[in-house]
Homo-oligomer: A and B are copies of this chain.
Amino acid sequence: KLKTVPIRAVRIKDGFWAQRRKTNITSSIPSMHDELLAHGRMDNFLRLQGKSTEPQKGPVYSDSDIYKWTEAVGFQLQNNDQSELRRTTDTMIREVVAVQEPSGYLNTYFNGDRKPLRMQYDTQTTGHELYCIGHMLQGAIAYYRATGDPTLLDAGIRFVNDFLIPNYGPGANQKEIVSGHPEIEMSLIELSRTTGDRRYVDLAGYILHGDPRIPLRPQQIVYMYCGIPFTSRTKLEGHAVRCMYACCGATDYYLETGDQAYWKTLNMLWDDLNAHQLYVTGGVGARAAGEAFGDAYELPNAQAYGESCAAIGNMMWNWRMLSATGDAKFTDVMERALYNGINSGMSLDGTTYCYRNPLAFDPSGESRDRHLVDGKIRNAWYDTTCCPPNLERTFASLSGYFYSTSQDGVYVHLYDNSEMNWHLNDGTPVKVAQETNYPWSGDVKITVSPAKPGEFVMYVRVPGWSKKNSVKVNGKEFAGAKPGEYLAIRRQWAENDTIDLSFDMTTHLLKANPAVTEDRGRVAFQRGPIVFCMEHLDQADHNAGMNLAGYIVRLDGETTTHFEPELLNGVMMLSHPAMLSDISSDTGLYFSAATPKPKETATTIRLIPYYAWANRDPASMQVWIPYRDA
């Protein structure tokens, strides 16, 4: 229903996201390049050309690290050219394609002793060959769109055309295929969009359907979220990133084919997400074991896995559902994930990353977790380094998520200082600009300038969290804004027409469904799209022993807000009346309910945006805070 506006057509200007994106290009992408090289990710390619004597480094999916980083570069270069970065990447791409075999096959891991394992169906379930190629195709397309250089894209097409399509598929002479880690599905469809070759959609469809010749154990079917007809799924389960990427591929397939069986399944799965599986931060995938979705309502806080990649997958999926419908409920989830569970994944300085994104944290108690290095949740490198370049490509591509066009106009999805120079579906050039201090302020001024006056619709999103809204067109009230919907403003638009939006920035205290055990008796704070958290070092008594367990929010209190320009690159801080319960005395693990309550003193808690946590000294953190009724 909606058409994507290319990244290059949108400029994000100074503001909330510009700061993050500047860090991304000046700090994250260069430092990740160095990390990738230091950990042998390019040596893997050089070794096969006799240019390196290093042994194979990293896990089976290590080629994808290079491809995801290349995709981040490709998106970045679509915004502005960076000649040095381009030269570096060009060189890397040449080393990659030099390893492609005459058959079209390309993978550095399955060589030498491992050569016989290539594309065996057992290997496909865990070997990530197609996952790597999927990321290669995405990186190649982004790079091609930025630079016009088809080197990597041609290599990707050779893999698909020469190696994959002739040899794998339903034909009698073709072999079995399973994606193992879904990713190839959406990249094949993007390749079809890029080249016009519909065979790629068909192959994606075959993979999404599952190859009936491959015997899979029930656990594999759950964990991999592929191998059986996607349309037979009824709930989110298994490895969260696999599951989200499968949903992305399936939505892309629906967008290309209109297959209603897919659409029915996708909506059922989305309802499961929204009703049972979504953290208030937009993160998904509660369980560390198997990096997996938990049961319905299983959303622990300190033990939350909430992998950065899964939150990204969630955003990518909701973006596709939005494209299919123009329904703002999907944008609400996208925005929730982007500002919170994704944005938390990269440190403010852009050099360290969270793999897990828990909603509560105690630095003294977490030493057993394998994703902490020396007790730190943010680290520059993980041997499975999926999340860092995934975050980089997300921020680099962000301008592509702000606007869409439709048959009858323009959609505005996200708010930040920005300028779109694009055209209506009928070809009329149109410029849409935003001026705002979003997300700290709810006021957004949009200027609409078509090249020539004409009637069309400006669809402006009213976020679900904004209960009272004001919309003015050229200074005059425009009625009809409803929370969680796009407001359709159909009129004759001419140059420098304005839309003034004013969203409700009241801080909301949220409760969770009582079936979410760990959130029971607790509230979370949200203001605009931003979810907040307490870090111990912002609290008045931050030297006390019991960390954050003693704070109790007073529901009869009023939240006050204060912008702190020097703190954490500039954040809104919330203050709220609370009680501090003296629970440092040792009651033991269990004690009689008849024991007198500990003494309480009045205090004020202070909260920072969740995305900014763990950017100072290690400290306890919590999003969900116990409350007491008035």
Contact = CB atoms under 8 A, between A and B. Distances in A.
Nearest to A293: B368
Contacts of A594: 509
A293 B275 CA distance: 31
B587 A513 contact: yes
A37 interface: no
A289 B291 CA distance: 10
A537 interface: no
A550 interface: yes
Given A294-B368, A302-B517, A517-B302, A511 B589 contact: no
Nearest to A622: B517
A294 B287 CA distance: 13
A295 B365 CA distance: 6
Interface in A341-362: 360, 362
Nearest to A299: B589
A524 B593 CA distance: 9
B589 A276 contact: yes
A294 B276 CA distance: 25
A588 B595 CA distance: 36
Question: What bracket does the count of chain A residues touching chain B fall in?
Answer: 35 or more
A359 to B, nearest CB: 11
Nearest to A511: B593
Contacts of A300: 300, 303, 517-518
B589 A512 contact: yes
A148 interface: no
Interface string A588-599: 111111110000
A438 interface: no
Contacts of A289: 287-289
Contact of A514 (B276, B511, B513, B550): B550
Interface string A563-599: 0000000000000000001010001111111110000
Nearest to A555: B593
A516 interface: yes
Contact of A520 (B222, B275, B303, B521): B521
Interface string A423-435: 0000000000000
A593 B509 contact: yes
B550 A590 contact: no
Interface in A537-572: 546-547, 549-550, 555
Interface in A415-465: none
A298 interface: yes
A362 B295 contact: yes
Contacts of A626: 514, 520-521
Interface in A285-320: 287-289, 292-298, 300-303
Contacts of A222: 368
A521 B594 CA distance: 14
A301 B509 CA distance: 26
Contact of A303 (B298, B301, B510, B546): B298
A280 B590 contact: yes
B365 A297 contact: yes
A97 B510 CA distance: 66
A366 interface: yes
A370 interface: yes
Given A302-B295, A520-B626, A511 B368 contact: no
A370 B546 CA distance: 36
A219 interface: yes
A7 interface: no
Contacts of A592: 508-511
Nearest to A629: B597
Interface string A513-535: 11111101101100000000000
Interface in A75-104: none
Nearest to A587: B513
Given A280-B590, A368-B237, A593-B523, A517 B514 contact: no
A508 B595 CA distance: 11
Nearest to A583: B514
Contacts of A360: 517
In the A-B complex, list the 7 residue pairs whose CB atoms are closest, starting with the nearest: A289-B289, A509-B593, A521-B521, A295-B365, A514-B549, A510-B590, A515-B549
5 contacts: A219-B370, A288-B289, A510-B592, A515-B546, A521-B521
Given A510-B591, A521-B521, A593-B627, 4 more contacts: A278-B589, A300-B300, A510-B593, A514-B581
